[in-house]
Amino acid sequence: MMDNIYYHGTSKRTIYSIMKEGFRLYKDYIIGGRIRGYGLYLSKTLNFAAGWGDMLVKCKLVDGTNILWNEDYDPNVIAYLKREFGRDIVKPDFHKVIPSNKHLTKKELKNLFSYLLEKHFGRKSFTRKTRRGYTPAWLFQMYETRIHERLKRHGYDAFGYQEDDWPEVMLFNPSKAIPVSAHTFTSETNPKDYWNPKNVNISGVSMLKQLFVTTLLLIMLISGLSAEDVSSVEVPEMVFCRKVIDRVPQEPDTVFSKAIGQVYCFTKVNASNSPTEITHIWYLNDKEKARVTLDIGSKTWRTWSSKRIPEEWVGKWRVDVEDPSGKVILSKTFSVDSN
Tell which wins on pLDDT, 232 or 71.
71
pLDDT for residue 136: 42
> What is the DSSP secondary structure assignment for residue 97, as one 8-state letter?
G
Could you read off the pLDDT of 311-329 as tens digits, one per residue? Answer: 999 999 999 998 877 788 9
Could you read off the pLDDT of 198-217 as tens digits, one per residue? Answer: 666 666 666 655 555 555 55
pLDDT for residue 202: 67
Q: Over 60: is that where the pLDDT of 172 sits?
A: yes
pLDDT range class, residue 236, cuts 50, 70, 90: very high
DSSP secondary structure of 203-243: -SPPPHHHHHHHHHHHHHHHHT--GGG---EEEEEEEEESE
Say if residues 222 and 230 touch (Cβ distance below 8 Å): no
> Who's near 110: CB < 8 A, 6+ residues apart?
68, 71
What is the chain's Cα-based Rg? 23
Exposed (0-12), middle (13-18) or buried (19+): which is 158, by Cβ within 10 Å?
buried
* Residue 281 parent element (H or E): strand 276-284
pLDDT for residue 296: 86
Average pLDDT over residues 8-34: 64
Exposed (0-12), middle (13-18) or buried (19+): which is 165, by Cβ within 10 Å?
exposed
Of the candidates 28, 38, 34, the residue with the CA atom closest to the CA atom of residue 15: 34
Instruction: Delimit the CATH 2.60.40.1930 region(s) of the chain.
Output: 231-337
**Does the predicted TM-score (pTM) go above 0.75?**
no
Exposed (0-12), middle (13-18) or buried (19+): which is 159, by Cβ within 10 Å?
buried
Q: Over 60: is that where the pLDDT of 27 sits?
A: no
DSSP secondary structure of 250-278: ES--SEEETT-EEEEEEEEEEESSSSEEE
Highest mean pLDDT among 120-124, 182-186, 285-289, 332-336: 332-336
Average pLDDT over residues 140-145: 60
Q: Over 90: is that where the pLDDT of 254 sits?
A: yes
- d(CA 164, CA 131) in angstroms, rounded, equals 14
State the CATH class of domain 231-337.
mainly beta
Angle of CA points 234, 235, 238, to nearest 5°: 175
Q: Over 70: is that where the pLDDT of 91 sits?
A: yes
